[in-house]
């Protein structure tokens, strides 16, 4: 009995999902205890779900993989694309952002995304888990399957890596000219005002055993975003675009040769991104099961299709298939398949990849030229365009008639009938991400520009940010 | 004494060096340089942005020789560096006023 009480008390300390589950099993267990002492105790212990070691291990590995995407993956990918004099500045920016956001995430980020926010719950969470209050090794959270749990700490740290890479993605928009201090201030404010609300709106939900709970605004709209197409990619891309517009073009753009200084580094970085993305997408399933494998397969084939489609399109239009084109296509494919990873079937994912490869090639050439902004490393052209196509494509490819998984309805515990209204839901997701991040980013950039200035001096820009901002040099040959 | 400056294709350097050694030239100075002539540059394309690379990599070779050797030097360099395609390079021949070997202080022909 003590054991039973102990386990029930334990569950009371758990998150919303587990709480509901504990209440559900309590009367049954108590009844059993009254009748037959010994077997009841066994039954009660089994009724409180414990994390599966395989699931927990997979989440630990996925977390490592997403860290690998940012440092060194994204840093090397971006670093190779700038001129040699700015290599270290990009590496420093990505590394510093990873560190700062990691700390902010455990201090208040996690709480504002993954707790209920009371009256404001549609848009932002609450502060009940600030400083990880109550999140310790004994606490579990439910995955997408009823009654399956993982330690809350591993869910928390997995989500930390998403927040970190999203903010780091933005630096590509205004690389080679931003002031380091201004970037840090922007990162903190943007993380707070754009990342946290978007993540809460899309991902906050009590879980399968608590479907009656109020959810985030976009979750309630039915937006499907498996691993963060809206939260991560469209969100970051809008910030990068606004940054490129507010900060202005690089000195000498269109006159000086601004060629990538080390495409070897870019290829290594892009490949690390691809490998890490298996943690990002397949890890977003929160369990090591068939859907995780589906997400992994989709992450291989959509990416490969996009790399090939960019390569052939460029070969056809510009005369030569370039390495940079291939890896850019691969990243575009990864971005597009992110929201669709666990919903589309592999053939659907290939089609998505083929489309997005060509579309993003247009994004970094035609669109960029037409609008005239200097998005140095094409964050908007690839993550924005790719993210939007992926988000809307998810609404189409989830259709079981096209091989998709359909949308699982937790109130009936069955796959619901597909409705084309899903596409409208997706458009909602895209629209809110574009407007929210666009407005927040624009205001933040303007504000920081007024208060402390966003840009290094022209002299420092010509000298290169490595020596001007960091007092060191990437290559001393 | 004469001073010959030759701009040649980088991959022809070894052949030219061998030919000059065979002729008895006792020292040359080599620099990696960039430049353009009739060959012009080429274009590079990064995510659709075109960059015209005007300056192509070449090797600059400098040789100081006795005046009576200069015609042969010109001949062997021209022959060894020749491919017949545009961009083979050029030779510039100068009068050389003085040479000093720093270690010994020798001057003129003996310092070559």
A215 touches chain B (CB under 8 A): no
pLDDT confidence of B49, banded at 50, 70, 90? confident
Pick the range with the lowest mean pLDDT from A427-441, B28-42, B61-75. B28-42
Q: Do B53 and A325 touch (CB under 8 A)?
A: no
Least CB-CB distance to B45: which of A258, A322, A381? Answer: A322
Average pLDDT over residues A260-269: 98
> Tokens 């991902």 map to which residue?
A203
Torsions phi, psi of A392, nearest 5? -75, -40
Question: Which residues, 6 or more positions from B105, have their beta carbon under 8 angstroms from its beta carbon?
Answer: none
Kindly identify which residue of chain B lies nearest to residue A365, measuring between CA atoms: B48
Query: Among A71-80, A343-352, A403-412, whose mean pLDDT is lowest?
Result: A403-412
Percent of chain A clearing pLDDT 70 (strictly above): 90
Cα B104 to Cα A293, B29, B64, B100: the distances in Å are: 77, 20, 18, 9
Q: How far is B39 from chain A (nearest CA, A)?
A: 20
Please give the mean pLDDT across all residues of chain B: 93
Contact across the interface for A328 and B48, Cβ inside 8 Å: no
- Which residue on chain A is closest to B44 by alpha carbon? A259
| pLDDT band with cut points at 50, 70 and 90 for residue A22 | very low
3-state SS, residue A295:
helix
Residues 6+ apart with CB under 8 A from A35: none
Taking the CA of residue B44 and the nearest CA in chain A, the distance in Å comes to 9
Q: Using a CB-CB distance cutoff of 8 angstroms, which residues of chain B are in contact with residue A364? A: 47-48
**Tell me, what's the pLDDT at A182?**
98
Residue B108 makes CB contacts below 8 A (sequence gap 6+) with B1, B98, B99
pLDDT in tens, A30-80: 333 333 334 444 444 456 899 999 999 999 999 999 999 999 999 999 999
What tokens does B103 get? 């270690």
Query: Which residues are CB-contacts of A420 (< 8 A; sequence separation ≥ 6)?
Result: none
Number of helices followed by number of strands (H, E) in chain B: 2, 6
Answer for the pair A256, A461: CB distance below 8 angstroms, yes or no: no
Search chain B and give the residue with CA nearest A257: B51
In the A/B pair of chains, how many CB contacts fall below 8 A? 26
CB contact under 8 A, A378 and B44: no
For residues A96 and A168, the answer to whether their CB atoms sit within 8 Å is no
Its pTM stands at 0.85
Q: How far is B46 from chain A (nearest CA, A)?
A: 7
Q: Among A257, A320, A328, select the one facing B47 at the smallest CB separation.
A: A328
B48 with A260: Cβ contact below 8 A: no
A115 with A126: CB under 8 angstroms?
Answer: yes
Between A178-187, A408-417, B95-104, the lowest mean confidence (pLDDT) is in A408-417
* Cα gap A331→A343, rounded to integer Å: 19
Find the CB nearest A324 among B47, B51, B53. Answer: B47
Question: How high is the mean pLDDT of chain A?
Answer: 90
Which of these ranges, A43-57, A61-75, A156-170, A262-276, has the smallest mean pLDDT?
Answer: A43-57
**B positions 43-102 inside 8 Å of A (CB):** 44-49, 51, 53
Q: Are strands A149-151 and A140-142 parallel, antiparallel or unpaired?
A: antiparallel
How far off is chain B from A380, nearest CA to CA, in Å?
13
Measured between alpha carbons, how far is residue A388 from residues A4, A170, B92 in Å?
50, 16, 61
> Is the pLDDT at A10 greater than 70, yes or no?
no
pLDDT band of residue A29 (cuts 50, 70, 90) is: very low
A186 to chain B, closest Cα gap in Å: 28
B86 dihedral zone (left: phi>0; alpha: psi -120 to 50; beta): beta
CA max distance for chain B: 59
The DSSP output letter for A72 is I
A336, HSE (Cβ side, Cα atoms, 13 Å): 38
Residues in chain A closer than 8 A to B44 (CB atoms): 259
Q: Does A378 touch chain B (CB under 8 A)?
A: yes
Shortest distance between the Cα of A174 and any Cα of chain B, in A, equals 17
Listing DSSP states for A202-268 in one string gives HH----GGGTTS---HHHHTT---SS-IIIIIIHHHHHHHHHHHHH-PPTTTTTS----S-HHHHHH
Which of B48, B51, B53 comes nearest A365 by C-beta? B48
Q: How far is CA A294 from CA A265, A287, A288, A289, A403, in A?
A: 30, 12, 11, 9, 12
From the list A257, A260, A364, which residue is nearest B48 (CB)? A364
The whole-angstrom distance between residue A116's C-alpha and the CA centroid of its chain comes to 21
- Phi and psi (nearest 5°) for A352? -55, -45
Residues of A in contact with B49 (CB under 8 A): 258
Helix (H) or strand (E) holding A127: none
Residue A411: the pLDDT is 77
Q: Quick one: pLDDT band at residue B88, thresholds 50, 70, 90?
A: very high
Residue-level pLDDT at A477: 79
Cα–Cα distance measured from residue A343 to residue A397, given in angstroms and rounded to the nearest whole number: 7
Enter the DSSP assignment of B109.
Answer: G
> Using alpha carbons only, what angle is made at residue B69 by residues B14 and B58, rounded to the nearest 5 degrees?
35
- What is residue A36's predicted lDDT score, i.e. its pLDDT? 36
pLDDT tens readout for residues A191-223 = 999 999 999 999 998 777 777 678 899 998 999
Closest CA to B48 of A459, A188, A111, A361: A361
ipTM of the complex: 0.72
B31/chain A closest Cα distance in angstroms: 17
Peptide bond into A78 cis (omega under 30): no
């Amino acid at each position: 009995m003590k054991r039973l009480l102990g386990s029930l008390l334990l569950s009371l300390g758990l998150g919303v999902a587990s709480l509901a589950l504990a209440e559900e099993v309590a009367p049954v267990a108590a009844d059993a205890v009254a009748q037959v002492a010994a077997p009841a105790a066994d039954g009660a212990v089994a009724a409180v779900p414990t994390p599966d070691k395989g699931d927990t291990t997979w989440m630990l590995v996925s977390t490592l993989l997403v860290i690998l995407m940012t440092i060194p993956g994204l840093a090397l990918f971006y670093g190779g694309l700038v001129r040699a004099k700015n290599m270290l500045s990009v590496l420093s920016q990505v590394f510093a952002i990873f560190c700062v956001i990691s700390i902010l995430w455990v201090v208040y980020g996690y709480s504002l995304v993954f707790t209920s926010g009371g009256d404001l719950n549609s848009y932002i969470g609450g502060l009940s888990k600030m400083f990880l209050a109550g999140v310790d090794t004994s606490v579990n959270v439910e995955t997408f399957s009823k009654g399956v749990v993982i330690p809350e700490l591993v869910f928390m740290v997995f989500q930390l890596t998403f927040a970190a890479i999203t903010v780091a993605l933005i630096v590509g928009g205004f690389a080679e000219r931003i002031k380091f201090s201004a970037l840090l201030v922007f990162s903190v404010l943007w993380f707070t005002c754009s990342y946290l609300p978007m993540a809460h709106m899309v991902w906050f939900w009590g879980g399968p055993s608590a479907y009656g709970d109020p959810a985030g605004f976009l979750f309630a709209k039915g937006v499907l975003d498996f691993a963060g197409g809206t939260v991560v990619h469209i969100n970051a891309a809008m910030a990068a675009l606004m940054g490129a517009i507010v900060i202005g073009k690089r000195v000498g753009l269109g006159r000086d040769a601004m060629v990538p200084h080390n495409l070897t580094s870019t290829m290594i970085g892009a490949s690390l991104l691809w490998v890490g993305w298996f943690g990002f997408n397949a890890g977003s399933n929160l369990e090591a099961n068939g859907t995780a494998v589906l997400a992994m397969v989709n992450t291989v084939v959509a990416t490969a299709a996009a790399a090939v489609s960019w390569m052939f399109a460029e070969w056809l239009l510009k005369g030569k298939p370039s390495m940079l084109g291939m890896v850019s296509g691969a990243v575009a494919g990864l971005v597009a398949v992110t929201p669709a990873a666990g919903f589309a079937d592999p053939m659907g994912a290939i089609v998505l990849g083929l489309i997005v490869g060509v579309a993003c090639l247009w994004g970094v050439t035609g669109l960029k030229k037409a609008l005239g902004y200097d998005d140095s490393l094409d964050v908007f052209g690839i993550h924005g365009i790719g993210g939007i196509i992926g988000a809307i494509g998810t609404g189409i490819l989830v259709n079981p008639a096209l091989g998709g998984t359909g949308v699982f309805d937790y109130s009936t515990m069955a796959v619901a009938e597909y409705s084309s209204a899903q596409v409208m839901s997706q458009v909602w997701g895209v629209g809110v991400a574009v407007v929210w991040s666009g407005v927040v980013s624009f205001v933040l950039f303007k504000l920081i520009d007024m208060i402390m200035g966003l840009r290094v001096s022209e002299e420092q820009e010509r000298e290169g940010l490595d020596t001007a901002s960091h007092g060191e040099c990437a290559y001393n040959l | 004494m004469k001073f010959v400056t030759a701009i040649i294709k980088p991959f022809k350097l070894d052949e030219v060096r061998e030919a000059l050694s065979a002729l008895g030239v006792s020292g040359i100075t080599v620099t990696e340089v960039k430049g353009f002539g009739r060959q012009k540059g080429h274009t590079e394309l990064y995510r659709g942005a075109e960059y015209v690379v005007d300056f192509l990599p070449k090797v600059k070779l400098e040789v100081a020789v006795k005046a009576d050797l200069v015609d042969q030097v010109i001949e062997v360099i021209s022959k060894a560096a020749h491919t017949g395609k545009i961009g083979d390079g050029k030779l510039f021949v100068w009068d050389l006023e003085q040479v000093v070997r720093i270690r010994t202080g020798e001057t003129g022909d003996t310092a070559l």
